[in-house]
Amino acid sequence: MADNDKDLGEKVAAHLKSLGIETPFEQGSPKDQELVRACFVDVLNDGLKMDMDDDSIRETPHRVAKMYCQEIFHGLDYSQFPKCTTVENKASYDEMVAVRKADVLSVCEHHFVPFIGYAAVAYIPNTKVLGLSKINRIVDFFSRRPQIQERLTLQIYAALSLILDTEDIAVVIKAEHLCVRLRGVKQQSETITSKMGGKFMAKPPLREEFLALTR
């Protein structure tokens, strides 16, 4: 697809791997929708003793497999990495560019239930300026895989650092984890993670300005 960039995706994947923050999966191997469907039949029928002849349950394995492979886990395929068009920073803009409330729609890799929230992302342009929607697309790409929030935060930061050729980047994610809400302590709470570099670390007023935008 024109909106995807496989070559950039492979560069980002290699960069994350070199930093030790890549998601543990077999890159380059296509997802096997039929195998997922067959395995989920076993989960429902043999494991949970559901009646697979019931008209409400019969197609559930197919629906789950399609959802996993074609929808919510497309971030396991770097050929679908978003095309990230940058332009030269001809105006020498040197102030913060920030995007708030970029949707985080992910799945906890520990319990395979959703965690949902928002990301705030900012950067200070060096030689490149990135199209604003591309930040949302990068957040979405790394969200769409089995994840932990801490790693997700680092992956977004590292990908943007590589694409924009700067460490002057800040990422904050706030999310509700349904594995906390539905099981364990069974409480509604918000988890906040952050990663900041460059001037966002070196200059407290800049960091505070960004954090104020996330409140």
Residue with tokens 């924009």: 164
For the segment 185-199, the average pLDDT, to the nearest whole number, is 93
- Work out how many domains the chain is built from and give that number: 2
Which one of the listed residues 69, 149, 155, 167 is annotated catalytic? 149
Q: Are residues 191 and 154 in the same domain?
A: yes
Any catalytic annotation for residue 155? no
Any catalytic annotation for residue 74? no
**pLDDT at residue 184 is higher than 90:** no
Q: Who contacts 128 (Cβ-Cβ below 8 Å, separation ≥6)?
A: 86, 87, 88, 89, 163, 164, 165, 166
Q: Are residues 91 and 61 in the same domain?
A: no
Q: Are residues 93 and 173 in the same domain?
A: yes
For the segment 112-125, the average pLDDT, to the nearest whole number, is 97
Any catalytic annotation for residue 15? no
Q: How far is CA 204 from CA 36, 207, 209, in A?
A: 48, 5, 9
pLDDT at 49: 97
CATH code assigned at 151? 3.30.1130.10
Residue 2 or residue 135, greater confidence: 135
Any catalytic annotation for residue 147? no
**pLDDT at residue 141 is higher than 90:** yes
Using 50, 70 and 90 to split pLDDT, how confident is the model at 1?
Answer: very low
Using 50, 70 and 90 to split pLDDT, how confident is the model at 2?
Answer: low
Any catalytic annotation for residue 149? yes
Structural domain of 169: 85-214
Any catalytic annotation for residue 111? yes
**pLDDT at residue 126 is higher than 90:** yes
pTM of the model: 0.95
Any catalytic annotation for residue 109? yes
Q: Are residues 67 and 90 in the same domain?
A: no
pLDDT at 4: 95
Report the distance separating Cα 146 and Cα 65, nearest Å: 14
Which one of the listed residues 59, 70, 110, 208 is annotated catalytic? 110
Q: Are residues 97 and 195 in the same domain?
A: yes
**pLDDT at residue 152 is higher than 60:** yes
**pLDDT at residue 128 is higher than 50:** yes
Which one of the listed residues 22, 109, 150, 176 is annotated catalytic? 109
Q: Are residues 98 and 170 in the same domain?
A: yes
pLDDT at 149: 98
In a domain, 180, yes or no: yes
Q: Are residues 132 and 58 in the same domain?
A: no
Strands (E), the chain: 86-88, 97-108, 114-123, 128-130, 146-147, 169-177, 191-196
